Amino acid sequence: MSDESTTGAYVTTGQEFDRDMNYIPDRITRDSSQWPVEPGRYRLVAAKACPWANRAIIVRGILGLEDVISLGLCGPVHDRRSWTFDLDPGGVDPVLGYERLQEAYFARYPDYPRGITVPAMVDVPTRAVVTNDFPWITHDLFHEWRDHHRPDAPDLWPDDVRDEMEDVMKRVFTEVNNGVYRCGFAGSQETYEAAYERLWTAMDWLEDRLTDRRYLMGDHITEADVRLFTTLARFDAVYHGHFKCNRNKLTEMPNLWGYARDVFQTPGFGETIDFDQIKAHYYVVHTDINPTQIVPAGPDPRVWTTPHGRERV
């Protein structure tokens, strides 16, 4: 299960964390008869607290799709039923008219049995969810919506490194994006220590990879950087302590820390990060890990705007 769902992720005694990757498989594509690319038709519902949704917010922005796909934002703390629109006046999304994202899922699947996850693409005319398959959402924002990108939009999926990038993204997802959750929701000392070892093997690999290249795939930001960044942005504030990923802090890894600040300071990235919402989500929602629901005061977010020195790479 995903912690970004209404059902949540829970520590199951003796077991290893296993993420539920069964999402609504529909896609919005140029040649689709049911869900065609159509400016103004869809609404991306996301939450700044969620790393998977954070990806979609970033990609929509850096590709210049703000006037093509509207954005609805849920608050950071949800209950077991659904993410809610408590950031909006009256707690109602102004476009969909919903108080809960759950309503968009039920508009299409009245007996939807799985967790209500963000990000979700919603069809505005029917107010029904189209897909919540987060890896495909950002993939398709690039490939299928290209006719609507701004002229200077970055090439997030460059052909010359595509095969290697797929391998890098797979390792980043299994070992880092999901690896921190594997540590945090481990059900035994044994599964935790195995997860911890896997995570730090991958973190050391990334530290080494970034020694002589500015970004994961070279001189330019790609989808791989988007996917890694949202985990790194949460690392010291949440994963280091809350998920027990505490061999060292991100700030103690020179290449990764410089890289993370470099990406953070790139237009379209840092402004999507809300540390108060991030901490509120993890420390309040995960009551089995943090039963007091006390939200830590630190760390100081101003460190993210300090010089990164990555120009030399």
Reported as a single tens digit per residue, the pLDDT across 30-63 is: 999 999 999 999 999 999 999 999 999 999 999 9
Checking if the pLDDT of 16 tops 80, the result is yes
Q: What is the pLDDT of residue 208?
A: 98
Q: Is the model's pLDDT at 8 over the cut of 60?
A: no
Specify the amino acid at residue 60. R
CA pair distance 234, 236, nearest whole angstrom:
6
Per-residue three-class SS string for 127-190: CEEEECCHHHHHHHHHHCCHHHCCCCCCCCCCHHHHHHHHHHHHHHHHHHHCHHHHHHCCCCHH
Interatomic CA distance for residues 148 and 137, integer angstroms: 15
Domains of the chain: 1-153 (3.40.30.10), 159-312 (1.20.1050.10)
The catalytic site residues sit at 50, 181
pLDDT score recorded for residue 5: 46
State whether residue 34 is helix, strand or coil: coil
Burial 110-134 (b: 16+ CB within 10 A, else e): eeeebbbbbbbbbbeeebbbbbbbb
pLDDT at 10: 67
pLDDT recorded at residue 30: 98
Q: pLDDT grade, residue 3 (50/70/90)? A: very low
Residue 18, pLDDT above cutoff 90: no
Give the pLDDT score at 9: 65
Closest among 41, 178, 202 to 122, alpha carbons compared:
41
299: preceding bond cis by omega (within 30 degrees): yes
Give the range among 2-11, 103-112, 124-133, 238-247 with minimum mean pLDDT.
2-11
pLDDT(293) > 70: yes
Mean pLDDT over 148-167 rounds to: 98
**Is the pLDDT confidence value at 71 over 60?**
yes
pLDDT at 78 over 60: yes
- The pLDDT of 194-215, averaged and rounded, is 98
Residue with tokens 């599964």: 191
83 annotated to bind ligand: yes
When mean pLDDT is compared across 4-8, 177-181, 202-206, the lowest value belongs to 4-8
Pair 228, 275: CB distance under 8 Å: no
Q: Rounded CA gap, 137 and 128, in Å?
A: 16
